[in-house]
Amino acid sequence: MHSQPTTDTKVAEPTTETVPMLRVDGLSKQYRSKHGKVQAIEQIDLAVHPGEFVSIVGPSGCGKTTLLNCLSGLIQPTTGELALDGRAYSSPPEELSIVFQDYSRSLFPWMSVEQNIAVPIRDSSSKAERRESVYRLLAQVGLPEKTGPMYPWQLSGGMQQRVAIARALVSRPKVLLMDEPFASVDAQTRNVLEDLVLNVWQEWNKTIIFVTHDIDEAVYLSDRIVVLSGSPASTIADLEVPISRPRDQLLSKQDPRFGEIRAELYELIMGAHKVDREAS
């Protein structure tokens, strides 16, 4: 069962026995390059429970992408431990997929939409199974069947990001990491894609960790919002979003609590940004 609330309060507090779907203990990340060391993440602990939708926000350049890349296993943290559904990992786990902001670089331009979506399962399924999964997913992300044989560059930006989402889902991951996935599409498409992600989350019972610059987007989508400090990133707040589900682009944003959380987040992020500037 999905842990979505039907009343206007948040998901039930996980019991102490609940194993987090994703757990991060004492994560820090220092980059070393020929220009010197950059401490991107100071110290982060995080527990995301099964079926939660958690957004990560913070001032520009604070370390959000670094955190998501560490969670994905794509880059190694300098310190800290990661566990997915109770199992420690240090390289990309199969049960976890990532959707990047830049769909034009994450899709392979020489492959059709169908081939792009099938990449994660091409060694583990028959041609017929791949085809069945791909066309089911195309429908799920709202793309017509005729887009299957097309190439990514023949599609709009919003359609390409739908393809990227379908590809992230094809291996049936437990956790979906999304790094500002809608930052490059127009505002109207963005709202449509936000609702698409909420549908996928609900129907497929996913756990989602979503990085965004957009405070309204974070409030609209999330059960919980983790606010990071300026660089190097550490957690300065972890706010629940007590707005009823299903969410609606008009009605949810008219909820007085939407405005209250937005104002709280704005103050936190501007405060963190100010500290960041004073320190530099």
Ligand X SMILES: Nc1ncnc2c1ncn2[C@@H]1O[C@H](COP(=O)(O)OP(=O)(O)OP(=O)(O)O)[C@@H](O)[C@H]1O
- Looking at residue 13, the DSSP 8-state letter turns out to be P
Please list every residue from 211 through 250 that binds ligand X, using CB under 6 A. 231
| The dihedral formed by the CA atoms of 29, 32, 37 and 39, expressed in degrees to the nearest 10 | -10
Cα 185 to Cα 191: distance, rounded to the nearest angstrom: 10
- 63 near ligand X, rule: CB under 6 A: yes
Q: Which stretch binds ligand X (CB under 6 A): 61-69, 103-111, 152-160, 186-194?
A: 61-69
CB of residue 195 to ligand X, shortest distance in Å:
24
List the one residue from 9, 60, 124, 154 that touches ligand X (CB under 6 A): 60
In this structure, are residues 66 and 75 in contact, taking their beta carbons and an 8 Å threshold?
Answer: yes
- 181 near ligand X, rule: CB under 6 A: no
Amino acid at 132: E
Please list every residue from 17 through 56 that binds ligand X, using CB under 6 A. 31, 33, 38, 40
CB of residue 63 to ligand X, shortest distance in Å:
4
- Of 194 and 276, the one with the shorter C-beta distance to ligand X is 276
- 151 near ligand X, rule: CB under 6 A: no
Whose CA is closest to 168, among 221, 126, 224, 209? 209
List the one residue from 3, 30, 65, 140 that touches ligand X (CB under 6 A): 65
Strand ranges across the sheet with 53-57: 87-88, 79-84, 22-33, 36-48, 233-240, 224-228, 53-57, 207-211, 175-179, 96-99
List the one residue from 21, 62, 84, 117 that touches ligand X (CB under 6 A): 62
Whose CA is closest to 280, among 76, 116, 61? 61
Cα atoms in the 13 Å half-sphere on the side-chain side of 97: 20
- Of 207 and 231, the one with the shorter C-beta distance to ligand X is 231
Q: Which stretch binds ligand X (CB under 6 A): 64-72, 130-138, 141-149, 150-158?
A: 64-72
| Interacting residues with ligand X (CB under 6 A) | 31, 33, 38, 40, 58, 60-66, 231
